[in-house]
Amino acid sequence: MALIDYLVQGGQMLLVLMLAPLLTGWVRWVKARLLRRRGPSPLQPYRDLVKLSRKEVVLAESASWLFRIAPYLIFAALWVAASLVPTFAGGLPFSWTADLIAIVALLGTARFFLALAGLDVGTSFGGIGSSREMMIASLAEPAMLMMVFTLSLLAGTTELSAVARFMLTADVGLRVSLALALLALVIVAIAENARIPVDNPATHLELTMVHEAMVLEYSGRHLALIELSSSLKLVLYLSLVACIFAPWGMASAGAGSAAYGYAAVIYVAKLALGGVLLALFESSIAKMRVFRVDQFLGAALMLGLLGALLLFVSRSL
């Protein structure tokens, strides 16, 4: 492995970390414009993070050590997961470390500790958030795995770089299974990132909130890490959609530095476009009741299963 490959790997890890707050700010800004508000600058999340990390942490009296290490664990799991998704270059030195199933499971690790942190202080808001988050996850995670099934049945592997390579080849064609998988992935991405219509990222003091309820007791640097982790998760899902369903313009391993730079610009453009689409979608739909969410996600699960079933059956035709 050449040194440049490791550099590119490191560059990708830093890029997702640096871009994460910007993407969140960008989505907020576009949403504000769509609502004919001026909105804060897209750079606002950076300022928030810096300010939060400088403030002291106010810990609840009943908080335990788990509450204090959970933000670091969540951040670590999400950052590792996000840096394993090929963003602008595929076939990197560590791309074989974890496949798509492992990335889904790493997201599960982050969620597990976030839900535990929600229960730790012993307030009813934390409990309500954790309990609902796990309900949403219990449907979203299998839907995601079904999507993984569809992809890997087509590509013959669950490794993301290889999947992206396969999607660039001509023999993919238009497939029903892929359309179903894309739909399932988008639904799961909306649910997992606590966006409208499943959850509202801008809400507080509402009985319908899920993600915000879990992190209600966090403050200072802990809250900064949690916010950064949520942004990372959004980048991760958008990169995933881009890498699987729109892998055009991705540099392959061993390309020159000019190609890498070009690919990085395309990647940022893809993220920006994804952010605009997300803001458009969020602005045009109302939040649904918590107990309608299972039907929404159940649809994703069924779509994913249908996609995988079609492939299983069509193999012998």
Partner 1 sequence: MLLTLLLVLLLVLLAAGGYGTVAPARPQGSRYLYGVSLAVCTVLLLLALAHLLSGREPLHLSLPLGLPWLGLHLRLDALSAFFLVVVNLGGAVASLFGLGYGAHEREPERVLPFYPAFLAGMNLVLLADDAFAFLFAWEFMSISSWALVMAHHREPANLRAGYLYLVMACFGTLALLLAFGLLAGVDGGYGFAAMRASQTPPALAALVLVLALLGAGSKAGLVPLHVWLPLAHPAAPSHVSALMSGVMTKVAVYGFIRIVFDLLGGESAVWWWGGLVLAAGGVTAVLGVLYALMQHDLKRLLAYHTVENIGIIFIGLGLALAFQANLMYFNAALALTAALFHVLNHSLFKSLLFLGAGAVLTATGERDMERLGGLIHRMPHTALAFLIGSAAISALPPLNGFVSEWMTFQAILNSPELPQWLLKFLVPAVGALLALSAALAAACFVKAFGITFLGRPRSPAAADAGETDRFSLSAMFALAGLCLLAGVLPGLVVDGLGPVVGLLNGGARLTDQYHQPWLTLVPVGPLKSSYNGLLVMLFMAVSGVAAALLIHRFASSAVRRGPAWDCGFPDASPATQYTAGSFAQPIRRVFGSLVFQARERVTMPPPGDLRPARLEVELHDPVWERAYAPIAAAVIAVSTRANVLQYLTIRRYLSLVFGALVVLLLGMALWR
| Side-chain half-sphere exposure of 190, counting CA atoms within 13 A | 23
141/297 Cα distance (integer angstroms): 10
Contact call for residue 65 and partner 1 (CB under 8 A):
yes
> Which residue's CB is nearer to partner 1, number 248 or number 312?
312
- The interface mask with partner 1, positions 5-44, x = CB under 8 A, is ----------------------------------------
Residues 151-180 that bind partner 1 (CB under 8 A): 152-153, 156-159, 162
Q: Which of 21, 26, 141, 244 binds partner 1 (CB under 8 A)?
A: 141
Nearest alpha carbon to residue 1 among 100, 93, 107, 81: 93
Give the nearest distance from C-beta 285 to partner 1 in angstroms. 22
Stretch that binds partner 1, among 2-10, 71-79, 236-244, 272-280 (CB under 8 A): 71-79
Give the nearest distance from C-beta 277 to partner 1 in angstroms. 27
306/181 Cα distance (integer angstroms): 9
Q: Which of 61, 171, 173, 284 binds partner 1 (CB under 8 A)?
A: 61
Q: Which of 14, 37, 47, 97 binds partner 1 (CB under 8 A)?
A: 97
Instruction: Please count the other Cβ atoms lying within 10 Å of the Cβ belonging to residue 99.
Output: 20
Contact call for residue 102 and partner 1 (CB under 8 A):
yes
Is the Cβ–Cβ distance between 222 and 71 less than 8 Å? yes
Q: Which of 39, 220, 277, 283 binds partner 1 (CB under 8 A)?
A: 220
Size of the site for partner 1 (CB under 8 A): 90
Q: Which of 26, 112, 237, 267 binds partner 1 (CB under 8 A)?
A: 112
What Rg value do the Cα atoms of the chain yield, rounded?
19
- The interface mask with partner 1, positions 73-92, x = CB under 8 A, is x-xxx-xx--x---------
- CA distances 273 to 32, 167, 245, 279, Å, are 16, 20, 14, 10
Give the nearest distance from C-beta 231 to partner 1 in angstroms. 14
Amino acid at 86: P
Q: Which residues contact 185 (CB under 8 A, 6 or more apart)?
A: 144, 147, 240, 241, 244, 245
Contact call for residue 203 and partner 1 (CB under 8 A):
no
Rounded to 5°, the CA angle 12-18-21 comes to 135
193/114 Cα distance (integer angstroms): 13
Residues 291-310 that bind partner 1 (CB under 8 A): 291, 294, 301, 304-305, 308-309
